[in-house]
Chains A and B, each alone.
Chain A
Amino acid sequence: MSKEIHKLNPNNWVKLHADYLYNFAIGRINEHDLAKDLVQDTFFAGLKAMDNFQGLASERTWLVAILKRKIIDHYRKINSNKGKAEVKMNFYADGEREGEWIEERVPSNWNNEIEKQIENEELNVALEKCINNLPEKYAMVFRMKTIQQLETEDICKELEITSSNLWVIIHRARTQLRKCMEDNWFKN
């Protein structure tokens, strides 16, 4: 069997791949304009890099690889300064009480009809809102792990982070999400 050599045809890129790439991006970065820009950037970068295309991968796989680079760049950007300032602490970071709950973040009792509440169709609106309230970096990793259900290893590779890094992020995302759901949904 001879290997197929793939060719690039930028004239069809938008028609063939824009939706796919957009869906890939929006699953990670839940922001329409940003996802759209990343797709557009991917096409531009693809044009520039056309000479490097060897035809071993399909056009789409090749474009996705470029998009992944764009997503990492974005992740690094939000990871640098901005993201850090927004973190709400749940535990004392140092001192005698290091690692203990900060009083106002301690889980409080939720009302009784939890099971019924889980079934409520409007719950997803509250969840979505709370996830979007997370600092961007946390929301992104949380989405990939929890909603897209990607493997830990794959996320680490994709974002070039370590697994302990990932779990710290998931931990912070979930403690913050818990608090948000408590305030907006489960509290008596």
Chain B
Amino acid sequence: MKLTCDQATTICDKSQYKEATFWEILKLNIHLFVCKKCGMYSKQNVIITKCIQKHKNALNKPTTCLCEKEKEQMETELKTKI
């Protein structure tokens, strides 16, 4: 039943994706009851998840793309091999 902090925070991370099992959550909660460090981690983990959700669109948008010149070059190189 007893978890190490490493294991507890792993479950905590899993639960950010709603993929921790019932038993894992139970064990995690018992651990959080006695461990302040992991309690803090757990709280901050939720904040990190919120941040990512909030800024997902910006994070998901590639800051770079292929420019026309790069595509031309790709095309030229490809054509030498066709």
**Chain A residues engaging chain B, CB cutoff 8 angstroms:** 10-11, 13-15, 18-19, 22-23, 26-27, 30, 32, 36, 39-40, 43-44, 47, 90-91, 98-101, 106-110, 114, 118-119, 123-124, 127-128, 131, 145-148, 152, 167-168, 170-171, 174-175, 177-178, 181-182, 186
Contact = CB atoms under 8 A, between A and B. Distances in A.
Contacts of A91: 4-6
Interface residues of B, number: 40
A100 B13 contact: no
B58 to A, nearest CB: 4
Question: What secondary structure prevails in chain A residues at the interface with B?
Answer: helix
Contacts, number: 124
Contacts of A124: 55, 58-59
B70 to A, nearest CB: 6
A127 B55 CA distance: 9
Given A19-B65, A178-B41, A99 B6 contact: yes
A147 B52 contact: yes
A13 B5 CA distance: 51
A150 to B, nearest CB: 11
Nearest to A92: B6
Contacts of B78: 10, 13-14, 40, 43-44, 47
A122 B75 CA distance: 38
Contacts of A167: 10, 13-14
Nearest to A170: B13
